[in-house]
Structure 1
Amino acid sequence: MSVKNAEQFLKDALHNPELRAAFEDAKTPQDFFQISESLGYDFSSQDLETVISQHSQGVQIRRRTGIWHWLRTVNWIDRQEAQSQSTP
């Protein structure tokens, strides 16, 4: 798993509508990562969050960009981490 792999995934997805379409049915983080792994990408939610954080520094106004709904806010990453920490 690596930050570089997560960054490459985002770059590929930016330019490839077919890659983005592969994730249309992803409803959970597990779905998302199963699909990404089946496509040859290997990164964790932390890797993805790191890349997004690095690239969103200084962003003050967010607007709809047409990118996928599950990546627009990345709230599910925070929820997944909170759930894993609260589970004994």
Structure 2
Amino acid sequence: MENKSANKQIMDIKELSEYLGIGKSKIYSLIKLKKIPASKIGRQYRFSKDIIDNWLKERIVTKKDDLQLELPANTGNKK
């Protein structure tokens, strides 16, 4: 079965929920916390697929070793 939301450029809450595989209440929580890019048109939210895809790419989680190099223990200047 093909996911119709994957082909749409503008999605509503229900379609975004299906696209991301998360509940509508979680999406509303993310909107309230300003954690997800959303446009409000009247009383309804709309989401651009391109913007959501970029938002997802920016939040890729990698394993701890890949995040940053460890800094040396003494980084302060000694006189």
| TM above 0.5 | no
TM-score scaled to structure 2, two decimals? 0.29
Greater Cα radius of gyration, structure 1 or 2: 2
Structure showing the higher helix proportion among its residues: 1
Q: Return the structure number with greater relative CO, CA threshold 8 A, min gap 6.
A: 1
Structure showing the higher strand proportion among its residues: 2
